[in-house]
């Protein structure tokens, strides 16, 4: 889970996260690499926990495919995110049993074997102790339960991060994702689960609006603290990148799911 400083900076509410999500939703294929694999839909009446739920947007997609009688618990360290997620899920008018709770994935406040499914969507790289987080997720799953964790490959969005580094400084790659990626995550989960499968997909975002790139790169450090000179440089270099691509900036996306099953 994010530290308190990260919650205040990035995850107090969904405003900064929305700029990053927008790039994927606007230019990524619907139901593509961002979609939870269809065959992983839980059984009717299942108890589902989402850790690090953020604003709960994944449930808009799941409403089309997951049973209507699930018991859903949404958790995050950010009160603003929990409140927004609960509102989002309830507004879908599909599930009647929806609860929100502040919770740390490294110390989940639930008894053993409380859930049939645990979702951890692009968040385990924020956990200060990934091994402890994996152990806690395994503990609260019933025997035979499943954990679905989405994350990225270590070269995900390289063109975007390289542009950001050239204009603003910062990391050339997504350093945060590397600590729990599609490559580094499976060994962590295998210490707690009977099996771990990797579902990986690569596609290309063909971005046509430079403003979307600027919004993404200014939604986190160092872009969110950049002064006028740095912002002007970012806009200029972004325009150059689009001109070089005849109005299109291509960004390779490498993302997917780790599917961990607890022993029966």
Instruction: pLDDT band for 32, please (50, 70, 90 cuts).
Output: very low
Q: CB within 8 A of 108, min separation 6: which ones? A: 49, 51, 75, 136, 137, 139, 140
- Distances from the Cα of 83 to the Cαs of 35, 76, 236, in angstroms? 23, 10, 38
pLDDT of residue 30: 59
Domains identified in the chain, total number: 1
Q: What is the pTM of this model?
A: 0.87
pLDDT score of 220 more than 60: yes
Average pLDDT over residues 181-189: 97
Contact 119, 51 (CB under 8 A): yes
Backbone angles phi, psi at 244, to 5 degrees: -65, -25
pLDDT score of 1 more than 50: no
Whether 23 maps to a domain, the answer reads yes
pLDDT score of 104 more than 80: yes
Q: In the predicted model, what is the mean pLDDT of the chain? A: 91
Whether 238 maps to a domain, the answer reads no
Residue 198 zone, left/alpha/beta (φ > 0; ψ -120 to 50; rest): beta
pLDDT score of 252 more than 70: yes
pLDDT of residue 31: 44
Average pLDDT over residues 20-31: 81
Whether 38 maps to a domain, the answer reads yes
Whether 237 maps to a domain, the answer reads no
User: DSSP alpha helices (H): ranges in 117-171?
Assistant: 130-140, 158-168
Q: Which domain holds residue 8?
A: 4-153+172-201+255-261
Whether 235 maps to a domain, the answer reads no
pLDDT in tens, 122-174: 999 999 999 999 999 999 999 999 999 999 998 899 999 999 999 999 776 67
CATH label of the domain that carries residue 28: 3.40.50.150
Distance CA 51, CA 59 (A): 13
Average pLDDT over residues 108-131: 96
Partnered with residue 121 across adjacent β-strands are: 150
Instruction: pLDDT band for 14, please (50, 70, 90 cuts).
Output: low
Whether 211 maps to a domain, the answer reads no
């Amino acid at each position: 889970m994010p530290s308190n400083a990260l919650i205040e900076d990035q995850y107090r509410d969904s405003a900064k996260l929305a700029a990053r999500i927008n790039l994927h939703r606007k230019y990524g294929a619907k139901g593509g690499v961002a979609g939870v694999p269809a065959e992983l839909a839980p059984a009717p009446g299942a108890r589902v926990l989402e850790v690090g739920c953020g604003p709960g947007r994944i449930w808009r997609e799941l409403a089309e495919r997951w049973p209507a009688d699930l018991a859903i618990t949404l958790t995050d360290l950010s009160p603003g995110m929990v409140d927004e997620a609960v509102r989002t899920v309830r507004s879908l008018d599909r599930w009647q049993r929806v609860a929100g709770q502040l919770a740390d994935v490294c110390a989940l406040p639930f008894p053993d074997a409380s859930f049939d499914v645990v979702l951890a969507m692009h968040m385990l790289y924020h956990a200060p102790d990934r091994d402890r987080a994996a152990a806690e997720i395994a503990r609260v799953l019933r025997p035979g339960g499943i954990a679905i964790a989405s994350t990225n490959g270590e070269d995900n969005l390289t063109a975007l991060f390289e542009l950001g580094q050239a204009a603003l400084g910062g990391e050339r790659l997504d350093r945060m994702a590397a600590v729990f990626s599609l490559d580094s995550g499976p060994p962590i989960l295998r210490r707690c689960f009977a099996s771990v499968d990797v579902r990986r997909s690569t596609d290309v975002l063909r971005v046509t609006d430079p403003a979307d790139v600027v919004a993404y790169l200014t939604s986190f450090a160092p872009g969110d603290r950049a002064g006028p000179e740095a912002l002007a440089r970012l806009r200029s270099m972004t325009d150059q990148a689009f001109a070089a691509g005849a109005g299109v900036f291509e960004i390779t996306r490498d993302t997917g799911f780790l599917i961990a099953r607890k022993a029966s």
